Amino acid sequence: MKRCLVTGGAGFIGSHLTERLLELGHAVVVLDNLSTGGRQNLARVEGHPNFQFQQGSITDPVLLSELVPGIDVIYHMAAAVGVKLVADNPVRTIETNIYPTEVLLRLAVQGRQKFFLASTSEVYGKNPKERWTEEDDLQFGPTTRPRWAYGCSKAIDEFLGLAYHRKFNLGVVVGRFFNVVGPRQVGNYGMVIPRFVDQALDGGPVVVYDDGEQVRCFAHVREVVDSIIRLMELPAAEGQVFNIGSDEPVSIKQLADEVIRRVDPKVTKKFVPYNVAYSADFEDVRRRVPDVSRLEKTIGSKPTTPLGAILDDIIAWKRAARSK
């Protein structure tokens, strides 16, 4: 049994990770300030003898110094999340993403904990390649566009984590997430699938930003969590960066059509320009597709759940939640 600290463990991915670690027989301490997560996400593990919840902020260095001793593995999942939140509050994004990571890495050097750093496909910025590999250049927009604050701050996180691996031989693994989706994800922060499903269940319209030709890949959280845990079991993964997600592309317009077909074919779509949805200076990435060959070679698998099955799972969860 390993004792694990999961920062942001009451969030969408963090809560699924917490459940899975407990299922595997590990002990889990969750740290979350509940600003974007919720205790309801941990309802299935409340009362578990190996589960402990600590409400607090990852920006509190004293609290972090109290929680890390005795831990074997740190899963640093906490971060500012969502395109809308990032665009609206870049100061919070930068402060939340960078400083706590450095504090946790310093503590991990002292305690020799293995360290998973949750990163994001946003670090690739506007790289024009069809598929992104972990060694590709990062191409951000200008600093006058707040949208790029998230990707830049997480890139700094990655530089920090990899520097601590090189300097102190710390067991750091970096995972870049590509549109992780599933039950418990909410649409409040710009997450597209829960927003589309809610809009369809409400009778529409399903609101598509810009022309809907943006391309994304969607991976089920269950497979993403399993990928994280397997990476942390392999010494060969230490000091490396991994794309974690599906590599099956779909346009946002196609996604809207699939949601509508499954919920109610009578629901309509509505197209809204970015300057109305976000701000006049908002920039988006037209295509975001990962090359996941490094992940597949390392752990022997990659997320493969079809989009239709993912949508059915999310729609069923949303309907059940509404019926309570």
CB 204 within 8 A of CB 267: yes
Tokens 């609206």 -> residue: 88
* Phi (first) and psi of residue 86, to 5 degrees: -65, -45
Catalytic pick from 150, 189, 209, 278? 150
| CA-wise closest residue to 166 among 234, 239, 237, 105 | 239
Residue type, 136: D
Distances 302 to 44, 223, 248, 261, 315 between C-alpha atoms, Å: 26, 8, 11, 27, 24
With vertex at residue 152, the alpha carbon angle to CA 151 and CA 156, rounded to the nearest 5 degrees, is 115
- 302: three-class secondary structure by DSSP: coil
Whether the CB-CB separation of 34 and 55 falls below 8 Å is answered with yes
**Helix 221-232 and helix 12-23: axis angle, to 10°?**
60
Whether the CB-CB separation of 281 and 145 falls below 8 Å is answered with yes
Q: Calculate the alpha carbon distances from 323 to 190, 202, 256, 267 in Å.
A: 24, 13, 23, 21
Whether 124 is catalytic: no
What is 207-226 written as a DSSP string?
Answer: EEETTS--EE--EEHHHHHH
Are the C-beta atoms of residues 195 and 187 closer than 8 Å to each other?
yes
| Catalytic site positions | 150
